[in-house]
């Protein structure tokens, strides 16, 4: 278990080149999250200082990774710029593409263009199957005839590339990122910009906050063919990083995933409280991995306590895990199976709540 105090000690041993103070002491490290085996924070610097701080970001990441027991590290460096002065840089784009964006990139707005609804899938606790639910719920919404996109915003461990069998950097056209497509779903992941399998590493300056950029600069839909719903797979947890993200993302509703045991439910409660804080309706709680190991029914009782809809449960089954590993979500691989049937029910409830 990593503790916050030792993370702060490690970060304060690295000096902010401008103030000469440690990264935490100087206030440079923002939204520091420390949980079990992971840590992350963001540094926001003026674009003119981006080159100065890139090695600082690298040093902080290396120092955190070297801590015993640390498995996931996310250090985000964002540079806020006046768009006219600096090219918008997106990790993985060629310099020609970047130059092209100078003239053509739309100014990011809060809401992604041509997207009717934005739905978050969240969990207070990691590893409860949030990404599995996000991808299969997206597939089930698509099976209802809706046009659907999935944005993997899980900066700690992007799993969408594996779950949908995606690889390769996204294309870029007329100033917009062209999302990948899989099984009829539009898909974007931090993992596609930074290299699959790695924790998120943003190198170099970015014109705007990294995820806002993916949200608003990806061509999810067009005027003629708007996207009905964008499913956003949020990073697990209820800390500052999550709060900042949901404050920056125009969400129409959230689905919370939990396993049945109390420790996960306590975190689901915190996730609900976080959404309440920013006036995003919790559209329902899904209990995942129901069965002999974790028990059952905990989430249903919790949903009743929180006065939010209980959408149902998902058993712990090999088909669900295999679907994720093989890159074909179980809802698509076994459309007539029990799991697909359950997701059809979740999708019906969610689409209804979103007015779709
Ligand atoms: N109902 C289930 N039955 C069997 N395996 C499952 C089930 N739900 C999820 N899994 C498996 O559990 C693992 C974790 O799931 P997933 O990546 O969706 O969790 P997560 O909450 O998004 O995790 P993280 O906190 O890392 O983002 C994956 O290998 C997935 O295939």
* Bridge partners, 46 (sequence order): 80
Q: Which residues are annotated as a binding site for ATP?
A: 124-131
By alpha-carbon position, which residue is closest to atom 9 of ligand 1? Answer: 129
The CATH code of the domain that includes 67 is 3.30.300.130
Q: How far is the CA of 132 from the centre of ligand 1 (A)?
A: 6
108 belongs to a structural domain? no
Residue by residue, pLDDT tens for the chain (356 residues) are: 889 999 999 999 999 988 999 999 999 998 788 878 888 888 878 767 877 888 888 899 899 989 998 888 878 777 664 443 333 344 454 444 444 443 333 333 467 889 999 999 999 888 889 999 999 999 999 999 999 999 988 766 778 989 999 988 787 777 678 899 999 999 998 777 654 444 344 332 332 356 777 788 789 999 899 999 999 998 887 876 677 778 777 899 999 999 888 777 888 889 999 999 888 999 999 999 887 666 777 888 889 888 899 999 999 999 999 888 899 999 999 999 999 999 999 999 999 999 99
| Secondary structure class of 190 (helix, strand, coil) | helix
Q: Are residue 71 and residue 119 in the same domain, yes or no?
A: no
294 belongs to a structural domain? yes
Compute the distance between CA of residue 192 and CA of residue 296 in angstroms, rounded to an integer. 36
By alpha-carbon position, which residue is closest to atom 28 of ligand 1? Answer: 321
Q: Is the CB of 136 under 6 A from ligand 1?
A: no
Q: Are residue 177 and residue 280 in the same domain, yes or no?
A: yes
Q: Is the CB of 128 under 6 A from ligand 1?
A: yes
Q: Are residue 138 and residue 22 in the same domain, yes or no?
A: no
Provide the residue range defining the domain that includes 270: 115-197+207-353
- Would you say the C-alpha torsion 328, 331, 332, 335 has a positive or negative sign? positive
Q: Are residue 120 and residue 31 in the same domain, yes or no?
A: no
At 277-333, the pLDDT tens digits run 888 999 999 999 887 666 777 888 889 888 899 999 999 999 999 888 899 999 999
Integer angstrom CA distances of residue 79 from 33, 43, 195, 202: 20, 8, 21, 11
Q: Is the CB of 74 under 6 A from ligand 1?
A: no
- Give the predicted TM-score (pTM) of the model: 0.71
Q: Are residue 25 and residue 129 in the same domain, yes or no?
A: no
87 belongs to a structural domain? no
109 belongs to a structural domain? no
| Secondary structure class of 216 (helix, strand, coil) | helix
90 belongs to a structural domain? no
101 belongs to a structural domain? no
Q: Is the CB of 157 under 6 A from ligand 1?
A: yes
Q: Are residue 41 and residue 126 in the same domain, yes or no?
A: no
Domain boundary pick from 80, 99, 128: 80
The domain tally of the chain equals 2
């Amino acid at each position: 278990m990593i503790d916050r105090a030792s993370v702060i000690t490690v970060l304060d041993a690295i000096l902010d080149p401008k103030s000469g103070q440690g990264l935490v002491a100087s206030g440079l490290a923002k939204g520091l999250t420390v949980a079990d085996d992971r840590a992350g924070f963001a540094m926001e610097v003026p674009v003119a200082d981006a080159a100065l701080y890139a090695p600082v970001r690298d040093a902080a990441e290396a120092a955190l990774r070297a801590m015993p027991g640390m498995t996931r590290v996310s250090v985000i460096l964002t540079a806020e710029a006046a768009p006219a002065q600096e090219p918008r840089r997106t990790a993985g784009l060629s310099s020609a593409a970047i130059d092209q964006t100078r003239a053509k990139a739309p100014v990011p707005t809060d809401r992604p263009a041509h997207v009717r609804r934005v739905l978050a899938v969240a969990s207070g606790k990691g590893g409860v199957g949030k990404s599995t639910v996000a991808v299969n719920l997206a597939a089930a919404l698509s099976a209802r005839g809706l046009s659907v996109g999935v944005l993997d915003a899980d900066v700690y461990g992007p799993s969408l590339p594996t779950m949908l069998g995606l690889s390769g950097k996204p294309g870029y056209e007329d100033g917009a990122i062209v999302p990948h497509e899989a099984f009829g779903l539009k898909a974007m992941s931090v993992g596609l910009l930074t290299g699959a399998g790695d924790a998120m590493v943003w190198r170099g300056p970015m014109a705007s906050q990294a995820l806002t950029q993916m949200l608003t600069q990806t061509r999810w839909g067009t005027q003629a063919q708007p996207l009905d719903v964008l499913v956003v797979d949020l990073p697990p947890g209820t800390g500052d990083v999550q709060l900042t993200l949901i404050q920056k993302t125009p969400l129409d509703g959230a689905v919370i995933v939990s396993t049945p045991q109390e420790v996960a439910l306590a975190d689901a409660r915190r996730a609900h409280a976080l959404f309440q804080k920013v006036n995003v309706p919790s559209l329902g709680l899904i209990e995942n991995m129901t069965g002999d190991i974790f028990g059952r029914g905990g989430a249903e009782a919790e949903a009743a306590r929180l006065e939010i809809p209980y959408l149902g449960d998902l058993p712990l089954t090999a088909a669900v895990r295999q679907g994720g590993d093989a890159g074909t979500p179980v809802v698509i691989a076994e459309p007539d199976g029990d799991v697909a049937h359950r997701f059809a029910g979740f999708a019906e409830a969610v689409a209804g709540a979103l007015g779709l």
